[in-house]
Amino acid sequence: MELVLMKVLLLILFVMIFFLYRRVRVLTASYQMFMQGSNGASMEETLQSISESVRSFESCLDRDRARLEDLASVLDTTIRGVGIVRFNAFQNTGGDLSFSVACLDARQNGLVFSNIYGREESRTYAKPIREGSSPYQLSGEEQEALRRAVAATRQLAAYSR
């Protein structure tokens, strides 16, 4: 009985050795393919180099993200909407040579300037705009130019979201 038990154990050991041998061969093949053209030291150097590159890219990304936020805040103060209205200020002048122009930033701040053309002279006026309105009375043409500039600003804001 002892002999039969020993033979069974020996058979089990051979089967285990066979499966372990196959597993080692698969792992060796994978390892050789992974290490092909390099040695262990150069592989470690390659991994360190990749890690340093990733850290460098992360710091560049953080710096660029901060710069982008700065640019976005500056962009809010640039002219975003312009409205132009041409009109004939006087009956005896030809063409629509007078005009009103409204220029606004993202916060609806800016100015409206108007040029009134006459036969003898032209006059230019500028009025500040804060949050979409002016402390000065606006003419109908200036109000229309302001309305157009506000619409252009809102349209641009819809695209930037």
Q: Domain for residue 98, yes or no?
A: yes
CA–CA distance, 1 with 83 (Å, rounded to integer): 106
Q: Count structural domains, the chain.
A: 2
Segment 82-103, tens digit of pLDDT: 999 999 888 777 788 899 999 9
In a domain, 94, yes or no: yes
Same-domain pairing of 153 and 90: yes
- pLDDT-based confidence at residue 160 (cuts at 50, 70, 90): low
Does 87 fall in a domain? yes
Cα(33)–Cα(27) distance, integer angstroms: 10
- Whether 60 and 93 map to the same domain: the answer is no
Residue-number span of the structural domain to which 72 is assigned:
50-77
Does 105 map to a domain? yes
Q: What's the mean pLDDT when you consider all of the chain? A: 88
Give the confidence band of 74 by pLDDT, cuts at 50, 70, 90.
Answer: confident
> Does residue 97 fall inside a structural domain?
yes
27 vs 47, residue with greater confidence: 27
Instruction: Classify the C-alpha dihedral 109-129-120-94 as positive or negative.
Output: positive
Residues 62 and 100 in one domain: no
Domain presence at residue 153: yes
State yes or no: pLDDT of 153 exceeds 70. Answer: yes
Is the pLDDT assigned to residue 41 strictly greater than 70?
no
Based on the domain organization, do 60 and 97 belong to the same domain? no
Residue 39 lies in a domain: no
Q: Is residue 42 included in any domain, yes or no? A: no
Tokens of 89: 């200020």
Whether the CB-CB separation of 87 and 140 falls below 8 Å is answered with no
Give yes or no: residues 100 and 152 share one domain.
yes
* One-letter-per-residue 3-state SS of 107-133: CCCEEEEEEEECCCCEEEEEEEEECCE
Does 81 have pLDDT greater than 90?
yes
Q: What is the pLDDT of residues 54-72, one digit of tens each?
A: 999 999 999 999 999 998 8
